Amino acid sequence: MADLNPDPDVVVALDAAFPRHLRAEVQGALGVLPPAKYPPAWPFHVLVAGEPVAIPYRVYPDEPSPDAQAALSPIQRAIVDCLYTRHHDGRVRQNHLERVVGLTEPWVAPFVVQLIGEYVDEILLAIQRDLAPPLTTPDSSAGRVYGRFAAENPAFLAITGQRVASYWSCYYRQRYPALTDYPGHALIAALRIAARRCSTAVNGVSPRSG
């Protein structure tokens, strides 16, 4: 059987996409990734519970075999799924997104939010279906996790919102005549509300006051 471990530079790049406490799980997850023709590309930098991570914009390995994925722990499978939400094939991104969008681990949030600022409508609809209800429910686990992520990454959320508006203007005006009808816009609005709830909770201020 061929050695599937990525080369050391790839390991370093992908390990940087997750908080340090996951290092052992990340190493196990990376062991099932087939070699890629190209290295991970164009990392974006965000905070996850106060810790900086660098997530690749695109990754290029083929998907691991079902047997290889089945041998992983649940956390390792989620790590693999998160990485493949950055895959160059949109169908692969959607397939792996749908496995993690319902999770409330803080390190999953940036992978999901990044997809809100991309152009595949089917992916946006999948996120809206599974994430919008808990985002708009006060005190939900997802609302707290995504609210904290949005609150501690205001520049990233702003850029993502700008991309949403640009993709709507370029590709989706006919399908969604108003920007407010576009799923990406609705998700950004829900994230901003969740961020405000998180900020007021941290500061000990009721959302109804002031």
* Distant-in-sequence contacts of 97-100, Cβ < 8 A, 24+ apart: 97/123, 97/126, 97/127, 98/126, 98/130
pLDDT the model gives residue 5? 53
Average pLDDT of every residue of the chain: 91
DSSP 5: P
- Residues 11 and 45 occupy one common structural domain: yes
Contact 16, 54 (CB under 8 A): yes
Global pTM? 0.91
Q: Mark whether 32 and 78 lie in a shared domain.
A: yes
Reduced to 3 states (helix: H, G, I; strand: E, B; else coil), residue 61 is coil
pLDDT in tens, 48-84: 999 999 999 999 999 999 999 999 999 999 999 999 9
181 torsion bin: left (phi>0), alpha (psi -120 to 50), beta (else): alpha
Range of the domain at 27: 1-100
- Whether residue 32 sits in one domain with residue 52: yes
- Tell me, yes or no, whether 82 and 14 share the same domain: yes
Choose one of 57, 82, 100: the last residue of a domain.
Answer: 100
% of the chain residues with pLDDT over 90: 80
State whether 164 and 127 are in the same domain: yes
| Boundary residue ending a domain (78, 100, 122) | 100
pLDDT digits (tens, 9 = 90+) for 145-187: 999 999 999 999 999 999 999 999 999 999 999 999 999 999 9
Instruction: Name the pLDDT band for 209 (thresholds 50, 70, 90).
Output: very low
Contact between 70 and 32 under an 8 Å Cβ cutoff? The reply is no
* Beta carbons within 8 Å of 33's beta carbon, 6+ residues apart: 4, 5, 6, 14, 61, 64, 80, 83
Any domain includes 209: no
- pLDDT category at 43 given cuts 50, 70, 90 is very high
Same-domain pairing of 51 and 9:
yes
SS3 assignment, position 21: helix
**85/113 same-domain check:** no
User: Looking at 85, 100, 115, which one is the last position of a domain?
Assistant: 100
Asked if residue 210 is part of any domain, the answer here is no
Tell me if 113 sits within 8 A of 150, measured CB to CB.
Answer: yes
Per residue in 79-110, pLDDT (tens digit) is 999 999 999 999 999 999 999 999 999 999 99
Residues 129, 36 within the same domain: no
Domain count for the chain: 2
